[in-house]
Amino acid sequence: MSELARAARAVAGGRHIAVLTGAGVSAESGIPTFRGAGGLWRGFDSASLATPEAFAANPKLVWEFYNWRREIVARADPNPAHVALTKLAGRVPRLSLITQNVDRLHHRAGSRGVLELHGNLWEIRCTRCGETSDRTGDILPPLPSCGACGGLARPAVVWFGEALPDDVWSAAQESVRDADVLLVVGTSAVVYPAAALVTLGKRAGQTIIEVNLEPTPVSDAIDIGLYGKAGELLPQLVPSEQE
Ligand code: BV8
């Protein structure tokens, strides 16, 4: 039986599918990934701009980086990988979608209850009073200010060195602990604690399926590896209505 057939069989028979996605699931929507060729912006490594220190040192530059990403995401559409996960949620008893992405393309594809480990690009948060506001689709000024107190606002994402939102992180661990299948899609699995969800799944004895262009540091822990584009592979894992 091919790896693809094994994976489709595991998914169709799953009681609770946990899915962990990374930037690779949005690549076919034209969103640059964090690492690899797309990971550079004006010669800056994306990760070096995604830190509180970079923002404190040069908020204007960091906002230029995030406004550039907001513009790209605003013009992008969910791709067949996002749509397949939305469909899959309706074809299995339970699906938990956990993402490292901040583009909300899963939401735009119709996924519900998405656990955003690293926040999102559309909301901004005041660095003074903490007020968070949804600025989806807005073109922001070079240094956005808080609507409530006028303080400097920041992107409502989790930067390197910052803790993940407690409630989201606990819910993600809970979902993986309970799942019997873990689908790891389009992540280089180098960012923690998100990548630790794979080890958690392994310990829980579930079937782990990796969908990526290439193997990653968690590839030894998985049971089935599907290497190719998520937009082409994920639709083949969705059980038909009859199944
Ligand atoms: C924390 C939001 C503690 C911002 C992001 C040393 C060892 C281990 C860990 C650490 C360490 N030093 C520091 C750390 C911790 C650090 C970390 O993990 N660093 C790594 C880089 C070494 N982690 C943190 O700082 C985290 N916080 O630890 O806090 C703490 C606790 C209490 C109190 C205070 C502090 C916070 C991490 C969150 C950082 N924020 N994003 C923003 O987006 O601007 S992470 C960033 O990387 C993105 O969210 C991205 O999603 C994420 C992971 O990257 P991927 O999604 O995997 O994307 P990537 O480009 O890497 O890979 C794409 C993959 O897709 C590739 O594999 C490619 O082959 C594949 N692909 C491409 N195209 C396709 C495809 N696959 C299929 N189909 C395709 N078409």
H helix count then E strand count, the chain: 9, 11
Question: How much is the pLDDT for 241?
Answer: 78
Q: Which of 191, 216, 237 to mutate to test the pocket of ligand 1 (most atoms within 8 A of CB)?
A: 191
Question: How much is the pLDDT for 145?
Answer: 97
Task: Give the residue extent of every domain in the chain.
Answer: 1-31+78-118+164-243, 33-75+121-157
148 phi/psi in degrees, rounded to 5? -90, -50
Distance between CA 209 and CA 217 in Å, rounded? Answer: 14
Q: Tokens standing for 16?
A: 């609770």
182 phi/psi in degrees, rounded to 5? -120, 120
Q: State the CB neighbour count (10 A cutoff) for residue 241.
A: 8
Q: Tokens standing for 115?
A: 């656990």
- Strand pairing partners for 205? none
- Strand pairing partners for 45? 40
pTM score, two decimals? 0.97
* Smallest CA separation from ligand 1 atom 15, residue: 192
Q: Which of 33, 53, 115, 168 to mutate to test the pocket of ligand 1 (most atoms within 8 A of CB)?
A: 33
pLDDT in tens, the chain (243 residues): 999 999 999 999 999 999 999 999 999 999 998 887 767 777 888 889 999 999 999 999 999 999 999 999 999 999 999 999 999 999 999 999 999 999 999 999 999 999 999 999 999 999 999 999 999 999 999 999 999 999 999 999 999 999 999 999 999 999 999 999 999 999 999 999 999 999 999 998 899 999 999 999 999 999 999 999 999 999 999 998 765
Question: How much is the pLDDT for 212?
Answer: 98
Q: Specify the DSSP element, H or E, that contains 55.
A: helix 52-57
Question: How much is the pLDDT for 243?
Answer: 58
Angle at 90 between CA 87 and CA 94, to 5 degrees: 120
Question: Fold for domain 1-31+78-118+164-243?
Answer: Rossmann fold (3.40.50)
Query: From the CA of 192, how far away is ligand 1's center (Å)?
Result: 7
Ligand 1 surroundings by CB, under 6 angstroms? 22-24, 27-28, 33-36, 39, 50, 100-102, 118, 157-163, 186-188, 190-192, 211-214, 216, 229-230
Q: Does domain 33-75+121-157 have CATH number 3.30.1600.10?
A: yes
